[in-house]
């Protein structure tokens, strides 16, 4: 992959098109603010990379296939905070990470050395339908609905990753090709906000949680009014953490993020989305908490993928 980050994007009709996923990011003041906020975290995270180079730390080695992550993906700062050394030769790496933004991926297994740890190679389909089916198997109750027979409000979403195009519609209705249909989860909290309980997965284990809050009217957009760093044990019960573990195992998700909503009426959790190339930490999170979350993830990374105790 080219080292020029701008090759990942194309400016088109007042927005930046992410070529790999098709996601469109409006070119506005909010984008400029997000870029400068992210740069503060990038600069801090870059110091870890520089320190590792100065001290000569060279283990473990990690390689990515078929793509390499850009610095805005969560694995980038975690990799450097953990002390992992990025190399290009997949056949010599201690950790080989399948990295592909596509909703579905089928890549031939690269040549690896004996004992190398494979990450996310079994995670080949994060379409909304497959996510909903995996959740139903893990939880024992369903998220997905049949729009032809379901009566009442439901959510229509694109099957593709990172579209943020959900909308509330009334059923029953004929489904639209390329769309999936889910229950409308009432995750409203005080203050006219909705709360997503984003859970970061390392080695199939819930590791870090972000309480992502936004106005009710903008519930399907990735524009948070507030983000709080938390721990899975504070966000979910032990039974719910077991559901998240089973979901990750079913999906083959060794590393990534899952969006969890808690229904206000029933108290149940619903996993509505999964991402195997998680971006983060969220822009709206305070810088000190971004760094804290990254260090937590780095410690879990070392334990899960090297079997060693983190330093």
pLDDT, tens digit (0-9, with 9 covering 90-100), for 112-122: 999 999 999 99
pLDDT score, position 278 = 92
Q: pLDDT for 138-156, tens place per residue?
A: 999 999 999 999 999 999 9
CB 17 within 8 A of CB 7: no
Confidence band, pLDDT 50/70/90 cuts, at residue 14: low
Query: pLDDT averaged over the chain?
Result: 89
Greater confidence, 21 or 258? 258
What digits encode the pLDDT tens for the residues 241-285? 999 999 999 999 999 999 999 999 999 999 999 999 998 799 899
CA dihedral over 297, 300, 304, 310, signed as positive or negative: positive
Q: How far apart are CA 268 and CA 297, in angstroms?
A: 26
Q: Is the peptide bond before 98 cis (omega within 30 degrees of 0)?
A: no
Q: Which domains does the chain carry?
A: 5-121 (no CATH), 128-295 (3.30.470.20)
* Higher local confidence (pLDDT), 101 or 297: 297
By mean pLDDT, which of 46-50, 179-183, 197-201, 236-240 is the weakest? 46-50
Among residues 267, 211, 212, the alpha carbon closest in space to that of 234 is found at 211
Top pLDDT among 5 and 41 is at 41
Measured CA distances, 176 to 62, 148, 157, 170, 181 (Å): 41, 11, 10, 13, 10
pTM listed for this prediction: 0.87
């Amino acid at each position: 992959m080219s080292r020029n980050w701008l090759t990942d994007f194309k400016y088109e009709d007042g927005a930046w098109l992410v070529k790999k996923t098709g996601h469109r990011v409006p070119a506005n003041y909010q984008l400029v603010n997000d870029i400068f906020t992210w740069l503060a975290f990038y600069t801090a995270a870059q110091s870890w990379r520089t320190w590792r180079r100065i001290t000569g730390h060279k283990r473990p080695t990690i390689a990515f296939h078929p793509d390499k992550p850009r610095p805005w993906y969560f694995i980038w700062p975690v990799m450097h905070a953990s002390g992992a050394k990025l190399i290009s030769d997949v056949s010599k790496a201690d950790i080989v990470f399948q990295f592909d933004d596509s909703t579905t991926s089928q890549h031939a297994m690269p040549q690896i050395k004996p004992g190398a740890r494979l990450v996310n190679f079994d995670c080949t389909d994060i379409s909304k339908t497959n996510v909903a089916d995996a959740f139903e198997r893990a939880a024992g109750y369903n998220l997905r609905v049949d729009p032809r027979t379901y009566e009442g409000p439901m959510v229509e979403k694109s099957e593709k990753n990172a579209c943020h195009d959900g909308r509330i519609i009334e059923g029953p209705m004929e489904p639209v090709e390329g769309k999936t249909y889910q229950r409308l989860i009432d995750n409203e909290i005080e203050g006219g906000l909705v709360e997503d309980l984003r859970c970061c997965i390392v080695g199939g284990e819930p590791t870090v949680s972000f309480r992502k809050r936004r106005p009710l009217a903008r519930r399907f957009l990735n524009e948070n009014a507030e983000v709080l760093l938390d721990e899975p044990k504070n966000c979910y019960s032990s039974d719910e953490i077991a559901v998240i573990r089973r979901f990750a195992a079913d999906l083959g998700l060794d590393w990534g993020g899952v969006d969890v909503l808690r229904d206000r009426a029933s108290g149940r959790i619903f996993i509505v989305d999964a991402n195997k190339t998680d971006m983060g930490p969220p822009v709206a999170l305070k810088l000190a908490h971004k760094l804290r979350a990254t260090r937590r993830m780095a410690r879990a990374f070392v334990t899960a993928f090297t079997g060693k105790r983190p330093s």
